[in-house]
Amino acid sequence: MLLLVLNPGSSSLKYQLRRIGTSEAKPGILLERAVNSPQEGTLDPVFLGNAFDVVDAAIQDVTGGTSPDAIGLRVVHGGDRFSSPIRVTPDVIGTIEEFGEFAPLHNAASMACMRAAATRWPRTPQVAVFDTAFHRTIPDHASRYAIPEELHTKYGIRRYGFHGISVEIVCRDAAAFLEVPVGSLNAVVAHLGNGASVTAVREGRSVDTSMGMTPLEGLVMGTRSGDLDPSIITLLQRRAFGPDEVDELLNHRAGLLGLAGSADMRVIQDAARHGDPRAILASDMAAYRLAKYIAAYNMVVGGAAALALTGGIGEHSSRFRTQVISLLEPLGLFIDEHRNYSGETGIRIISTDASAFPVLVVPSDEERAIAEATAAVVLSDGSADRSLNEA
């Protein structure tokens, strides 16, 4: 089966072409690229039309004229409606639109992508794979906020969590590496990139996560503030900041960018090494917040069997990993600097043998997870014979 995996951002479209057989464990990558929009913002139909010209030409070049058998798309917010991947229909798109307020740039981009793909490949079934789905197992005492019941019921205010596609595939790969069933894995997983979150995984299921109703809550991120006193928002509004201005400030001008002038951890670590006080503060704050969440989630899972670090920063920033693990020595975790700076790739242990449990670096492969989920849906419901336009 030839699968096209689409991962739309607010101003870019990452895509992969993968081939997977019914008995293959891992689909092989035939093509992997990205198309960037010249303007920041939701992907518009004109850009997507041009982008799919590029994608289609690349597919034809690789396959010699074959169209994809199915298309899998990452969707950031599925709200409380979607607990698993689902074939895309007009009704599904409508429901995704309902949750657009919680992730406006991301969900709008996904919907635009679905419609443009249906125009380009009208006979090809599409499958939506949701970042929030893995976190549907979080119990009420962890997912609910202490607000009046009617607000929760009327507006769907609760913790949804994100990065679920990444966390789920990391758990599967970590369990295989540790040679334990994924259903018995107790772990803390930190997805660390421009967006960052920590998830408590107990018996292979998400039981708590640092992001909340939107991706704003939790860790110090590239441009997001993470946790802050809600009264700061009301204070800013009293100082003539409108809702959209506050949203733009906390999502796009805060975090590492607001603290150090850069959202790139590589730039910040380099500046910190040269003694830049803003960079040192930003790095210290990000590491401290992350270590607090990891320590708390070790309690939540009843004692972790592993700590897994993934995402661009988790996989590549040895210095930041050292900074975080050094704060976790009270948990019995100690960094092995030779392992940490070895330059190895793939899943690996970076803690000492004397540590209470292993600290793993686990490359995240969201596209592989999307491809496998797409193939499973298409093969199980026969949707390879039905397109979005025919649904």
Residue 336 catalytic? no
Answer positive or negative: Cα dihedral of 332, 338, 343, 348: negative
User: What tokens does 20 get?
Assistant: 């997977």
Nearest to 76 by CA among 94, 57, 100: 100
CB contact at 8 A, 114 and 73: yes
Alpha-carbon distance values, 29 to 43, 62, 165, 216 (Å): 25, 11, 18, 32
Place of tokens 């739309």: 8
What one-letter code names the amino acid at 251? N
| DSSP symbols for 235-288 | HHHHTT--HHHHHHHHHHSSHHHHHHS-S-HHHHHHHHHTT-HHHHHHHHHHHH
* 276 phi, psi to nearest 5 deg: -65, 120
Distance between CA 33 and CA 61 in Å, rounded? Answer: 14
From 69, 131, 173, 208, the catalytic residue: 131
Distance between CA 388 and CA 89 in Å, rounded? Answer: 5
**Positions marked catalytic:** 131
